[in-house]
Amino acid sequence: MIRCSNGCSQAWWCRPAVGAWLLVGLGACGGGNEPDAPASASGCPQLDPEEPVTLDADVRVVATGLIPTPQVSPLAAVLSTDGGDVYWFDGSGSVFVERDEARVVELMRSDAPESETREYVVRGIAASADRLYVGDGFLQSGLDYFSVDFDPPGRLFSISRQDGRAEVLLELSDRTVAPIAADSERVIVFADGADRGYYQVRLADPRLERLPLAAPYQSSQLVGDKVYWLNNDHPPRLLRSGFDDAEPESVMRMYEDDYFVAVGTDHVLSLETRILPGYFSVGKDFVLSDDSGCRAFPGPRSNGLFDLALDAKYAYWYGGRQPPELTLSPTDFELFRLDVESGASTRLNTPGFTPEADIRIVGQDATRVFLRSNGTLVAVQKP
């Protein structure tokens, strides 16, 4: 089975803007009385949990001096975990591992090609049982804040997880590739350039072979061996497909035109707009859908939602509290844990780690959530 590189449990934005955040709580815009909040668009039962409690989480710095690399798709992982091991790459293209919370080892040193006009980047990391796969290239000159494109040449590397021995599987003069998933027989990649799309690279015969998958690269997510995305219907429909499937299948219709979805192994988390009673203000509710039906509970109010990671029981999400002047610079970044069964919310303090506006959740495993901000990679122990 193809393995996704982040434990198959990371949940992400659909239709994101690179580096952007969602303003989900607008401050009071006028006076007067307002009737009670209307029924939700989803019609799901509304849970009313207690106010969030606050806990101090155990935080450990994994590495410092990292240069954040633009991540243009949830499918392009920047970190991979397996058991106690954590793999990642830095902004120069070197690949590292931390084994069982011991010292960090550089598995592969970057041999970035020289360029005075373009920035060299690694596009993503994927892992099989014994190998890591990374793809490289250059950032396109004239980088736009809301889109990131890549220039060739590009390479696909295969690296031993044990001793770091590396080989180049592909050298491409006209395109770059981002590894998405891998097993003992092939690597799944997304290729930019001519005839952009999804390809397989069979290890026995390393070359690009086109796959039928047509999911939007910048706004899809991988769970197990299936890719999930939202279509352009109004309201949108959640679709999924295997890498080799000729046509996608429909999972569910979303409740409103809100292009956020996080997919877990057996549930789907989305957002819906809430008009808060008593004043003219807009908030969001989380809506959890699974085999037993659906339920809604309070989500972000005066916070911007940056990233969200979903496991079997909890959703972990980062918010930035919006200042009164409604600028696009949130403050007081907070990490929350949401119980997807009861809706109970916990605010997690991270002593010794103060995130900045570039905060991102870059991965998780059964016991840790990994955060990256201001050149620092940290592991937050799940309470």
Domains by residue range for the chain, with CATH: 3-381 (2.130.10.10)
Strand order in the sheet with 237-242: 221-223, 226-230, 237-242, 249-253
Give the separation between CA 198 and CA 126, rounded to whole angstroms.
15
Is the bond preceding 113 in cis, omega lying within 30 degrees of 0? no
Asked if residue 184 has pLDDT above 70, the reply is yes
What is the structure's pLDDT at 167? 96
Q: Is residue 364 within 8 Å of residue 372, measured between CB atoms?
A: no
Residue 364 and residue 275: Cα distance in Å, rounded?
Answer: 33
pLDDT surpasses 90 at 197: yes
> What is the pLDDT confidence band of residue 37, given thresholds at 50, 70 and 90?
very low
Q: What's the angle, vertex CA 71, arms to CA 220 and CA 150, rounded to 5?
A: 100
Mean pLDDT score across all residues of the chain: 84
Q: Cα(364)–Cα(271) distance, rounded to whole angstroms?
A: 22
pLDDT of residue 26: 30
User: What is the pLDDT at residue 279?
Assistant: 56
State the pTM of this model: 0.86
Higher per-residue pLDDT: 215 or 292: 215
The strand pairing partners of 82, in sequence order, are: 85
pLDDT value of position 93: 87
Q: What is the mean pLDDT of residues 2-25?
A: 40
β-pair type (360-364, 249-253): unpaired
Mean pLDDT value of segment 121-149: 83
Give the pLDDT band of residue 139 (cuts 50, 70, 90): confident
pLDDT-wise least confident of 195-199, 212-216, 279-283, 353-357: 279-283
Q: Which residue has the tokens 């957002």?
A: 271
For residue 149, the model assigns a pLDDT of: 81
> Can you say how many angstroms the Cα of residue 257 is from the centroid of all Cα atoms in its chain?
21
Q: Which residue has the higher pLDDT, 212 or 273?
A: 212
The whole-number pLDDT of residue 11 equals: 42
- In the chain, % of residues over pLDDT 70: 80
Please, which pLDDT band fits residue 286 given cuts at 50, 70 and 90?
Answer: very high
User: For residue 24, is pLDDT > 50?
Assistant: no
Residues 331-343 have pLDDT tens digits of 678 899 999 999 9
pLDDT of residue 317: 93
For residue 63, give every residue at least 6 positions away whose Cβ sits within 8 Å of its Cβ, in sequence order, or none. Answer: 88, 90, 96, 98, 104, 376, 377
Task: Report which of residues 60 and 103 the model is more confident about.
Answer: 60
Paired sense of beta strands 268-275 and 282-290, if any: antiparallel
What is the distance between the alpha carbons of residues 224 and 330, in angstroms, rounded to a whole number?
34
Contact 182, 172 (CB under 8 A): no
CA–CA distances in Å: residue 178 to residues 71, 190, 309: 11, 5, 21
Q: Which of 65-79, 166-180, 307-321 has the lowest mean pLDDT?
A: 65-79
User: How far is Cα 293 from Cα 299, in angstroms, rounded to an integer?
Assistant: 19
> CA-CA distance, 248 to 239, in Å (whole number)?
6
Percent of the chain with pLDDT over 90: 58
> How far is residue 190 from each of residues 22, 213, 268, 349, measured CA to CA in Å?
26, 10, 25, 37
Residues in the chain: 383
Torsion of CA 317, 81, 4, 377, to 10 degrees: 50
Band the pLDDT of 16: cuts 50, 70, 90. Answer: very low
Stretch 359-363: mean pLDDT, rounded?
91
CB 162 within 8 A of CB 117: no
* Of residues 348, 252, 342, the one with CA closest to residue 297: 342
Confidence check: pLDDT of 347 > 60: yes
Per-residue pLDDT, 2 = 55
